[in-house]
Amino acid sequence: MDNTAGEAPLVSPNLMLRLTAVFVGLALLGTAELSAQSNQLSEQDDPTLRLADLPSAETRSEPAFYDRLRRLMSGKPKARKRAAKSLARADEAVLIPLVDAYFFSPNEARPELRQTLEELSGKQFGSRYRAWFEYVGSREDLEAPAGYTAWKGELFSRIDRAYRRILSPDATIRLRLREVQWGGVPLDGIPTIDNPESVPADDARFMRDTDTVFGVSLGGEHRAYPVKVLSWHELLNDTVGGRPITLSFCTLCGSGILYLAEDANGTRMLFGTSGLLYRSNKLMFDRATLSLWSNLTGEAVVGERADEGARLTMLPMTLTRWDAWRQRHPDTMIMRPDPAVAQRTGYRYIEGAADEARTGVEFAVWRQSDALERNARIYALRINGEAKAYPLEALLEERLVHDTVGGVEIVLLGDDASGAVRAYERDGREFLLPGVTPIRQLRAEDGTAWRLTEEGLAPDAGGDLLPRVPGHVAFWFGWYAFYPDTGIY
């Protein structure tokens, strides 16, 4: 039975703990040998998933080399040697599924796999799976061979059988599937927060002034979500101001992004964590179709919704300190952490605790730039197809920046006390930096005064808002991996 929405993951609690240990070890050490442990664990808990027992290429209507790959991963030395000899003469495109095979293979199969990788590529990366993964990612001249989607689904089904359904042979794919990695948990392996309880600010005794929150304003309603909770759960579905929203927080690349959670028909969508990553960025799934979506772009990238070309609308959100948000919006409500969930999961809802637990965990990303430090925090904007990164430290120091992105004139405001950044359209206006902090009002060079709101800049004399421009904080490496043509302020 597939692990579809509403069903418990097909992984025992003990296996979940062991798989998580494998994930942390693999990410920390970057060694291929640890991935073999995940392979062995999956086979022990569900022997029916052994690759050697799966139907042959002839019955699957796939290229014959996939059978050779299966034999190369087997426990039979003679079969491995024959398969290695044959695959060493194959087309270089076989490198793509071969690297996947390397991740899932037992230790005894690694020498032949490594030898085949080296002979096909002419590279000497040894046993470093991460190096091989980055290498095939960088080979933009290679096209994934026929049958690759089914192959990836077959391998990933060893972790969770739902992946075979998600990566079905006829699935629409709108990303480079070779760059999809397992993130260490099965589908829904990280519990999503759905429709959480919220309380008035005066009742938020679980918050410290210096705690950070994601601040949301919709339909006249203000809501705060503690980062110390989202850092563990990474995803929530809620309704604010009568609008369904999804807040997706990819902790690996530092990007917390707010989306309007409606499909093309205006129907509410509910999302969960897929357990898969693309360029170290979280892939969500919608519970109605099991389609995969990118946290960073809001695009459906695998499945039915990808076939429709669906894309979520990004909404403005403010990452700021709790005391600053509360002072701006004394009527705000704030999500209350659920102590039962904390007790059940072992999550510590303390500022920085989740980051501490993830210290050193990284995933391979082949497209890299040293223009900024890898984990430098930036404020990221993408307008009309143009991407731009603003180093957060510089933005908070300057406090007021005029710019044009994607043909739209904007003004960015940074508050060094709270860490908040807000961007607005400026419609040709130049603003002056006020002498008081925090900035609550701007004066344009033409003498007009404009109040800062979460929705836009509001003219004191009345009239139309200068609308807010949605943006978000991210780590430099994560942003660059998706937008290598990005500008840098």
Residue 147 DSSP code: T
- CA–CA separation, 133 vs 140, rounded Å? 13
Can you give the pLDDT at residue 435?
A: 84
pTM of the model: 0.88
428-479 pLDDT tens trace: 999 998 888 889 999 999 999 999 999 999 999 889 999 999 999 999 999 9
122-178 pLDDT tens trace: 999 999 999 999 999 999 999 999 999 999 999 999 999 999 999 999 999 999 999
* Arithmetic mean of pLDDT, 80-92: 95
Can you give the pLDDT at residue 60?
A: 57
* Arithmetic mean of pLDDT, 402-430: 97
Can you give the pLDDT at residue 436?
A: 84
Can you give the pLDDT at residue 175?
A: 98
* Arithmetic mean of pLDDT, 267-278: 98
309-348 pLDDT tens trace: 999 999 999 999 999 999 999 999 999 999 999 999 999 9
Can you give the pLDDT at residue 11?
A: 33
Mean residue pLDDT of the chain comes to: 89
- The neighbour count for residue 1, using CB atoms within 10 Å, is 7
pLDDT of 227 above 70: yes
Helix (H, G, I), strand (E, B) or coil at 210: coil
CB-based contacts of 140, cutoff 8 Å, min separation 6: none
Could you confirm whether domain 377-488 is CATH 1.10.10?
no
Element containing residue 131 per DSSP (H, E): helix 129-138
The residue extents of the domains of the chain are: 13-182, 193-357, 377-488
- CA–CA separation, 482 vs 255, rounded Å? 13
Q: Cα 404–408–409 angle (5° rounding)? A: 55
- CA–CA separation, 16 vs 477, rounded Å? 29
Query: What are the contacts of 46-53 at 24+ separation with CB within 8 A?
Result: 46/10, 46/158, 49/157, 49/158, 49/161, 51/104, 51/154, 51/155, 51/158
